[in-house]
Amino acid sequence: MSNIEQTLSIIKPDAVERNLENEIKEMFKINGFTILKEKKIQIEKSEAEKFYKVHETKPFYNDLCTYLSSGPIVVMILQKENAVKRNRELMGATNPKDADEGTIRKKYGISIDKNSVHGSDSIDNAKIEIDFFFKDWKFLI
């Protein structure tokens, strides 16, 4: 049974700043993801605070929101079979030090805060996060 999903991916400021945008997109494509929609934007800190609201009680919340709004990011809707899980696998562990060989964070991540990519962690959150950045997006599948 086909289980095509969409998930939200973000290439974070540390990766955009190092011109890794194309290399990271290539990793998604090689791994069978279709980039359905993408845009390069810079967000306000208040928007980052909304996006990361789930982490508002964490000690790293303020720095995280400052960081995500510190420079351009690339937000993308990725599509593939089991896209949410497959993207989390391709990203690797939150801390690049713990990430498996061949993952994006192992390859490009600098540290736990500058870990190059974001990916939705569940189908429900993928819908919420896609809606956050692409309000007009209609789920076709």
Residue among 30, 139, 25, 17 at smallest CA distance from 68: 17
Q: What is d(CA 48, CA 44) in angstroms, rounded to the nearest whole number?
A: 7
Q: Which of 89, 113, 127, 132 binds ligand UDP (CB under 6 A)?
A: 113
CA of residue 137 relative to chain centroid, distance = 17
Q: Looking at beta carbons only, is 14 or 33 nearer to ligand UDP?
A: 14
60 binds, among Mg ion, ligand UDP, none (CB under 5 to 8 A by kind): ligand UDP
Minimum distance, C-beta of residue 94 to ligand UDP, in the bound complex (Å): 3
Q: Which of 25, 80, 86, 118 binds ligand UDP (CB under 6 A)?
A: 118
Burial class (CB in 10 A: 0-12, 13-18, 19+), 65: buried
Interface pattern 30-69 for ligand UDP (x via CB under 6 A): -------------------------x----x---x-----
Phi, psi (deg, nearest 5) at residue 84: -60, -55
